[in-house]
Structure 1
Amino acid sequence: MKFDIFYQLPEAATQNTAQRYRELIAESAEADRLGFDTVWLAEVHFAPRFSAMPTPLMILAAIAERTTRLRLGMAVNLMPLHHPLRLAEEIATLDVLSGGRVEFGAGRGAFALNYRGYGVEMANSRELFEEGLEIIKAAWTQRRLTFHVKHFHADNLEVVPKPIQRPHPPIRLAANSVETFTFAGAHAYPIFAGGPVNPIPVLGERLEIYNRALADAGHKRPDDWLAAALMVFVGRDKAHVRATIEPSLRNYFDVVSEIIEPESPSAEHQAAFLAMRERLKNIDYPTVDSMMGIFGDAEYCIDRIAELKERFKFSRLVCWFETGGLSGHQNVIDAMRLFADRVMPKFQ
């Protein structure tokens, strides 16, 4: 069983970017010392209350210099917003600088604001994603590269550097929609899944879609196939944990409700959007606890993880300790230490 940490990086009005970056790097260095496997950073643009981290690769490079063993993951890189050759160069550079510790998490994202800000049509995101993924793999594995696809063209390019890891850094897709679960299964990619987008009651159905697509394509399930992403916090008891994290969770759902947008101007989509916004504004702590979280003392967390592991068959838990950004740096460090001391050894 592997245990990872995950970050968006919300920035409240009372916080500043430099301090938030310093805290993230310090928490990652502590994760390295405590025996966590990978730190995963999300890419988000133009919404600092949701995340002030548009360039996770740069922060991962800083983390690489403060750590020796911790693997460096993107969860995820918003591939349609980048030229795939530039992205291949940057990720390979990080792999070289870190001694081969990169985990490449790829996805499309769900917020229209990211696409609008870069002038990219969100309707083209799946095509851009699928073409870009193949180009990046080719850039890492071929000495010279030629391609002519719908959105990208190149002739006889030598892309450098090549990553240290062979044939390339591990690739994992963020599976949120039914279509992505199907695509990932059909191509036998390991996946991220869980969290608010696919909470515990929904996750099993989505994993069945992935497994059916695997079987239909004649693939075996890949090793380390599921990184189950869940909100996690451990403390002396459930009441103490709730007091520590509830304001931060409330902040997270309030901010999400502000930045989501309807898929189209149609009356149907507008109605669904308004209903979703109301659900986000009104979601309460017990609901988050039961559907998305592992919150409590060490013994409770051990039992909860064991039950979910048996239910979903994952061998990697991505722990989202810092949901919402308001729990406080020292509280996050304390929770990580307690988790590593009391919970992780039960699964290793």
Structure 2
Amino acid sequence: MKFGIVFFPTVGPADKSGTQYFDEALCLVDLAEELGFAHVKIVEHYFFPYGGYSPDPVTFLAAAAGRTRRVRLGTSATIPAFQHPVKLAGKLAMLDNISGGRVDAAFGRAFLPDEFAAFGIPIDESKDRFVESVTAIKRLWSEEDVVFEGRYHRFGPVTLLPRPAQQPHPPVFVTTARSAESCAEAGRAGHNLQTVPNVMATEELQDRLRTYRAEWAAAGHTPGAEQIHLTYPCVVAEDGEEARRKGRYDDDRNTTAIRAAVASWATTRSTAYPGYENLVKATQTSHFESKLDGNKLLIGSPEQVRGQLEQISSWFGDDLTLSLGVHSGHLSFEDAATTMRLMAEQVIPKLKGGLA
């Protein structure tokens, strides 16, 4: 296994200022570089405490690039539907050059109706816009004199500058939360996969990963070259009871944040998001203990978390990369730093492969 950290702020001005949150997060980026973590990622969301402090991942990652030399920098994920593909391709190519070729580009469809409404984008168009934009971005990165004729975007001939530092382009990830078909399509297209175990049963995720790997192989992509990233909230303390107390508080606040963000699904229906009208109920029946028992959260003492990781490896394979959500903003900077140090010093070295 490999390990990195991911920032998914679920705080607002009533909790702490954006200035304070980003100062803490960038100090944790420094620590990730020091401790040997594989990557740093950040999400894209708007308006709500649920991710709203991160409307532009590239801005944060550019700051992270300037204070690191080794750690990879990932979007987790950026939303093509809300930007013109020429603009997004250019921003990510510029970041790839600034960072010396360390960008991992994860793209997602988005799923919050209020975000689509604010951008004036029909939510039913999200899948088609996603596929079209990712296709356009990859062409802009890898070709010259690109002429693109899509349903939503038409341009060219254009040659993007700067060219990406990584050739033919940065690694492309598809971020998916619930869609089995998205996993299959990612495998067929040769895209890497990023997903969240917290939102599905273990058996469902096992099935999705089998499908993804099978489709990757059937499409003739290089065997074993695919990357699978799984995201887990993570709180580690020397005392397991302390970790659980803090983890419970963090999970409760995160659940409150997502409950507010998905509220409009109670009155929204979309053929592009079958079953998402159940999200509101799901947030009302989300329980910390059941998530912890199901290893959806990495919380406890170093020994307890090692046991969780061994179980996760047996379920999903040991060729995974785990993105650790260490700082939603509700716990202190010191709590997040302790989690990272204990993971790097007492948990990961005792696992097969260590920090890779």
Q: TM-score range by the shorter chain?
A: over 0.9
Amino acid at match of 1:319: L
Residue 214 of structure 1: which of 205, 213, 216 is its match? 216
Provide the residue aligned with 2:291 in structure 1: 288
**Counterpart contact for 2:198–2:297, Cα < 8 Å:** no
Q: Which amino acid aligns with 1:26?
A: C
Q: Cα RMSD (Å) of the superposition?
A: 2.4
| Residue number in structure 2 paired with 1:321 | 326
The 8 Å contact of residues 174 and 192 in structure 2, kept in 1 or not, is answered as yes
Residues 40/200 of structure 1: CA separation in 2 closer, same or farther (3 Å cut): farther
Q: Which residue of 2 aligns with 1:11?
A: 11
> What's the secondary structure of 1:77's corresponding residue?
coil
Segment of structure 1 superposing worse, 105-114 or 190-199: 190-199
- CA–CA separation in structure 1 for the residues paired with 2:49 and 2:89: 26
- Mean Cα deviation higher: 244-253 or 281-290: 281-290
Contact 2:265/2:280, CA 8 A, preserved across alignment? no
More RCO (CA 8 Å, sep 6+): 2
Counterpart code for 1:27? L
What TM-score results when the alignment is normalised by the length of structure 1? 0.92
- The yes-or-no answer on 1:189 pairing with 2:191 is yes
What is the alpha-carbon distance in structure 2 between the residues aligned to residue 229 and residue 304 of structure 1? 14
Deviations 1:150-194 (A, max 9, x none): 111112212101111111111111122122112112212210122
CA contact (8 A) 1:74 1:104 kept: yes
Bigger Cα displacement from structure 2, 39-48 vs 224-233: 224-233
Q: Distance in 2 between matches of 1:185 and 1:162?
A: 26
Number of the residue aligned with 2:345: 341
Q: For 1:29 and 1:243, how far apart are their aligned partners in 2?
A: 27
Aligned partner of 1:239 in structure 2 is: 241
Distance change in 2, residues 1:263/1:148 (3 Å):
farther
Aligned equivalent of 2:47 = 46
Residue aligning to 1:300: 304
Preserved contact between residue 163 and residue 169 of structure 1 (Cα < 8 Å): yes
CA contact (8 A) 1:188 1:222 kept: no
Shift of 1:202: 2.9
Normalized against structure 2, the TM-score is what?
Answer: 0.90
8 Å contact kept, 1:224–1:316: no
1:262 is aligned to 265
Would you say how many aligned residue pairs link Structure 1 and Structure 2?
346
Q: Tell me, which stretches of 5 or more residues in structure 1 are unaligned?
A: 267-271
Query: Structure 2 regions of 5+ residues with no counterpart?
Result: 270-274
Residue of structure 1 equivalent to 2:272? none
Name the amino acid aligned to 2:10. Answer: P
Secondary structure at the counterpart of residue 196 of structure 1: helix
User: Using a 3 Å threshold, how does the CA distance of structure 1 residues 144 and 276 change in structure 2: closer, same or farther?
Assistant: closer
Q: Which residue of 1 aligns with 2:94?
A: 93
Of 225, 228, 253, 2:227 maps to: 225
Matches within 5 A, 1:66-85: 66-85=67-86
Q: Which residue of 1 aligns with 2:24?
A: 23
